[in-house]
Amino acid sequence: MSTRPGLLGMARQGRLDIIAGLLGLLAAIAMLPLQLFLDDVYVRTLPIVLGIASLLYLIAARDEYPGDLPTLSPTLSRVLPSLIVLGSALLILLAGIQGERTLLFYDIAAAIGTTLLVTILFVDRDHFSPSLLLFLVVLFGMVFRFTALYTTPGFIGIDIWTHMGNWGPAILEAQSLQPISGRKYYAAPLYHLLVVGSSLLLDVPLKMALYLVLGVAMPLVVLLIYSTATFFVRKRWAVFATAIYAMSAAVIEWGIHIIPTSLGLVFFLAVFYSLDRMLRIDYKPRDFGMVVFFSVAVILTHQISAFIMLVFTGSGLLAYFALGLGLFDIGRPNWARSSTRESVNLTGLLVFDLGLITFMWSLTPQYDGTFLTVMVSYFTETLQSGSVGDLAGGTVPPSVAPQPSFMSTVVEYLDVLGFLLMLMLTIVGCYYIIRQENISHAMFTSVVATVLMLIFVFGFPMLGVRTFVPGRWFPFVAAPMAVVAAIGLSYLVNNTNPSVVVVVLLVFIIAFPATSFLASDSTQESPPFSDTQTRYSYTESEIAAVNVVDTYFEKNRTMWSTDQPYYTVFERTEARSDGYMAASMFKNGSVQGWVGTDATGNETLNESETVIYRDYHRKGAANFNFYHNHSSIAHKPSVSFQQTCGDNMNILYSNSQVKICSQPEA
């Protein structure tokens, strides 16, 4: 008869992983009522994910059922890599023929992604080749991203129109940074210097230089995830971590919307690898110097990326202090000798990064002050005005607000499911790492970093604090998450009943690629559900209208409006002067101007002298503001030309897809 204690018995024995798993399960149950007060998809789903992950780990820890992954037949092991290459070639052909990435394209990509995960997890040891599998991961990642870049007439996303549609050409023409001397990127110029310098060196247009340098770098840099993961797990699981990171929707997003955040992510992954390497080996000064070098590169590239890097670096120091509490058996005989050295270097690195960031931000121009003073002021104002419940959305009463369609609800969950699946495995990995015999400084740093970064992503927004731009954190937090998730899945496979493992693996390898490739973030230029997901790219006719406005119309005489995101292109390319272009308001079944703010802070409806209509208003999912009683919320109605311009407005410009209408002069 087995004398193995139950879960409560192991908790009484001081097993921190069991205690954490039980607390996680209780926290998941306690968080369920939050959805009654906060209307947000993560509030509804995070408790479920936490509960499932906690149950999976507790079952595995209780049973410790010896197991291993099943293997494919030798024939399949040889054939599957060829199928992945052929499938990638088919994607290129399909995108070229159809002129865009379509739902069929994404379905085939999802099948290839599932095949890739099956190959990584189940190919037998004799046919397992990390170099071949990493090649397939990078190849597939490049195909998925470059088909989007190749089939898009202009750029993908919003911010890139500022960087490459406005500042980049100005810097190239001036041969200096003077055109952005009043902007925050004057003190963080690496992105613009890299792209403009590459354009001059390679003698190619800016767009081509951007894609050849950063477009290629984004799918290649995922190899740093593999290099980092090999410190903690076997090569099979390191390749798995690399694959799920490369397939993540948030990571794909910054491979097609290529802005300073993308370059900041490249340097952050280098910091992630070099810092973990420093904590894992008996490092030399050059290893520490590598961490410092990439830290400086992040700081000189992107302010938000620099702050995220600072949080990650601080996580290493916090992990050191936590290990010093004596709760863990760290399993390193040389800990007493090396811990002081590590703490001194981590403290020095953190102080150096914090000092350089403070110095640079205090010199960085932002609006009428410096970036540091503006951010501190904004953060202070947010704390004074923010309140729990801001996730619930606008103040338009639910009885009046447009009701979400079935597809919009489906897409809402589709957009987050891939991240939640990775998070589930990450939570399992976190529990396993804090098990006393498994802990190490490098491993625990990833756990602390994941927890802290998720607080910035989810915790602060619940308190109304969005100063830290939580949407930009996802590809960064996905790096430690991917590594810890690989550790978690490895533990489940080796310690859980095979029937449970089969269910977990089937759900993950089928659902993760499909949801990641259909998510709004990874399909910005050509959404698979075009009447629900907003398109963040523009046709040749839509770009032509922007160029006509830039060339022939006065920039600041009257107020213009159109949908979001189209109005941002006019602003960011300076086809319209700042403050003379706004998002259109939808009220009582028609477009009725734009929203402003009065002296008391209430929203007011103002008339637009000129309105821009595009066919996408009727056929797509353009964003308008739904206005009611001095408040507004986002709305995606199907809007006809008649609802926009009516019968009394003059048409100032027209092409096959865009019309510019103006109020008749009195």
Q: What is the pLDDT of residues 616-657, one digit of tens each?
A: 999 999 998 887 776 777 889 899 999 999 888 899 999 999
Confidence of residue 403 (pLDDT cuts 50, 70, 90): confident
pLDDT at 9: 84
547 in any annotated domain: yes
Q: What is the mean pLDDT of residues 201-230?
A: 97
pLDDT (tens digit, 9 = 90+) per residue, 216-260? Answer: 999 999 999 999 999 999 999 999 999 999 999 999 999 999 999
Residues 269, 247: Cα–Cα separation, whole Å: 16
Same domain, 544 and 519: no
Between residues 2 and 655, which one has the greater pLDDT?
Answer: 655
2 in any annotated domain: no
Same domain, 549 and 513: no
Q: What is the mean pLDDT of residues 79-90?
A: 97
Q: How big is the chain, counted in residues?
A: 666
Same domain, 553 and 476: no
Q: What is the mean pLDDT of residues 3-10?
A: 79
Of the candidate ranges 202-211, 373-382, 485-494, the one whose mean pLDDT is the lowest = 373-382
Confidence of residue 330 (pLDDT cuts 50, 70, 90): low
pLDDT at 37: 84
pLDDT at 415: 96
pLDDT at 2 over 80: no
Exposure on the CB side of residue 401, measured as CA atoms within 13 A:
16
pLDDT at 586 over 90: no
pLDDT (tens digit, 9 = 90+) per residue, 438-448? Answer: 688 889 999 99
Residues 371, 358: Cα–Cα separation, whole Å: 10
Confidence of residue 337 (pLDDT cuts 50, 70, 90): very low
426 in any annotated domain: yes
pLDDT (tens digit, 9 = 90+) per residue, 293-325? Answer: 999 999 999 999 999 999 999 999 999 888 877
Same domain, 132 and 186: yes
132 in any annotated domain: yes
Residues in Cβ contact with 416 at an 8 Å cutoff, skipping those fewer than 6 apart: 41, 42, 45, 519
312 in any annotated domain: yes
pLDDT at 167 over 50: yes
Q: What is the mean pLDDT of residues 421-426?
A: 98
Which of the listed residues 495, 523, 551 is the one where a domain comes to its end? 523
Same domain, 545 and 515: no
CA-based nearest residue to 21, from 329, 454, 428: 428
535 in any annotated domain: no
Count of domains for the chain: 2
Same domain, 112 and 73: yes
Beta bridge partners of 595: 605
Between residues 587 and 186, which one has the greater pLDDT?
Answer: 186
Confidence of residue 466 (pLDDT cuts 50, 70, 90): confident
pLDDT at 329: 59
- pTM of the predicted model as reported, rounded to 2 decimal places: 0.94
Beta bridge partners of 591: 586
Three-state secondary-structure class, residue 395: coil
pLDDT at 331 over 70: no
401 in any annotated domain: no
pLDDT at 102 over 50: yes
Three-state secondary-structure class, residue 484: helix
- Angle between helix 303-323 and helix 441-454 axes, rounded to 10 deg: 130
pLDDT at 646: 83
Residues 451, 315: Cα–Cα separation, whole Å: 9
pLDDT at 392: 47
Beta bridge partners of 613: 659
Same domain, 65 and 138: yes
pLDDT (tens digit, 9 = 90+) per residue, 506-559? Answer: 999 999 999 999 999 999 999 999 999 999 999 999 999 999 999 999 887 788
Of the candidate ranges 82-91, 606-615, 626-635, the one whose mean pLDDT is the lowest = 626-635
The mean predicted confidence, pLDDT, of the chain is: 90
Tokens 């998730």 sit at which residue?
A: 485
Same domain, 481 and 576: no
pLDDT at 530: 92
pLDDT at 3 over 70: no
Same domain, 575 and 470: no
pLDDT (tens digit, 9 = 90+) per residue, 139-163? Answer: 999 999 999 999 999 999 999 999 9
Tell me the one-letter amino acid at 252.
Answer: I
pLDDT at 326: 72
pLDDT at 47 over 50: yes
Of the candidate ranges 67-76, 191-200, 204-213, 561-570, the one whose mean pLDDT is the lowest = 67-76
Enclosing domain of residue 651: 540-662
Three-state secondary-structure class, residue 383: helix
Which of the listed residues 523, 549, 579 is the one where a domain comes to its end? 523
Same domain, 236 and 351: yes
Same domain, 170 and 245: yes
Confidence of residue 332 (pLDDT cuts 50, 70, 90): low
| Other CB atoms within 10 A of residue 102 CB | 15
Phi, psi of 319, deg, nearest 5: -60, -40
529 in any annotated domain: no
Same domain, 278 and 211: yes
